[in-house]
């Protein structure tokens, strides 16, 4: 390096110092941006998780309500079957009238039973 002067140690330190300062600033800014993005993603994940849990809870409540209704209807049907099984020729008309007053229709069941009778 005949034509060039050797870098002065202070110039090298200054260059390294500026690089080091720029590096740290850029690194810190990058970390800050990435951290901000992570925080935003954390918020979105939390919101979506809550929404999923809320919907599952809501859907679960609907399913449980539907299940409870089906169980009530099944129990009522069991009770009605027991009533019909205990029917006699004398009580049959009263039972049919009772079902019609309660809002049940035995017409479909009766028609099906009559069609299946020998």
Q: For residue range 35-60, what is the model confidence (pLDDT) as tens digits?
A: 988 988 888 888 888 887 787 778 88
Domain count, the chain: 1
User: Which pTM does this prediction carry?
Assistant: 0.47
Asked, for residue 84, whether it belongs to a domain, the answer is no
- pLDDT tens series, the chain, 118 aa: 455 555 555 666 666 677 677 777 888 888 888 898 898 888 888 888 888 778 777 888 888 888 899 998 889 889 888 888 888 878 888 877 777 766 554 555 555 544 544 4
Q: What distances in angstroms separate CA 2 from CA 5, 6, 9, one per listed residue? A: 8, 9, 18
Q: Read off the tokens for 57.
A: 């809870």
- Show Cβ contacts of residue 106 under 8 Å, excluding neighbours closer than 6 positions: 96, 99, 100
Asked, for residue 50, whether it belongs to a domain, the answer is yes
Asked, for residue 29, whether it belongs to a domain, the answer is yes
Asked, for residue 33, whether it belongs to a domain, the answer is yes
* 3 state DSSP class of 95: helix
Asked, for residue 115, whether it belongs to a domain, the answer is no
Asked, for residue 88, whether it belongs to a domain, the answer is no
DSSP assignment string, 48-64: HHHHHHHHHHHHHHHHH
Asked, for residue 19, whether it belongs to a domain, the answer is yes
Q: Read off the tokens for 50.
A: 């809550």
What crossing angle do the helices spanning 9-85 and 92-102 adopt, rounded to 10°? Answer: 150
Domain that holds residue 47: 9-69
**Is residue 105 within 8 Å of residue 99, measured between CB atoms?**
yes
99-104 long-range contacts, Cβ below 8 Å, gap at least 24? Answer: 104/80
């Amino acid at each position: 390096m005949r034509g060039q002067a050797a870098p002065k140690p202070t110039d090298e330190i200054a260059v390294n110092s500026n690089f080091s300062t720029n590096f740290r600033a850029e690194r810190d800014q990058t970390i800050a941006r990435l951290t901000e993005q992570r925080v935003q993603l954390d918020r979105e994940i939390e919101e979506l998780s809550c929404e999923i849990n809320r919907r599952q809870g809501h859907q679960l409540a609907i399913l449980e309500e539907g299940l409870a209704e089906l169980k009530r209807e099944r129990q009522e049907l069991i009770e009605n079957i027991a009533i019909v099984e205990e029917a006699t020729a004398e009580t049959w008309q009263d039972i049919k009238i009772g079902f019609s007053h309660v809002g049940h229709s035995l017409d479909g069941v009766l028609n099906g039973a009559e069609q299946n009778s020998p």
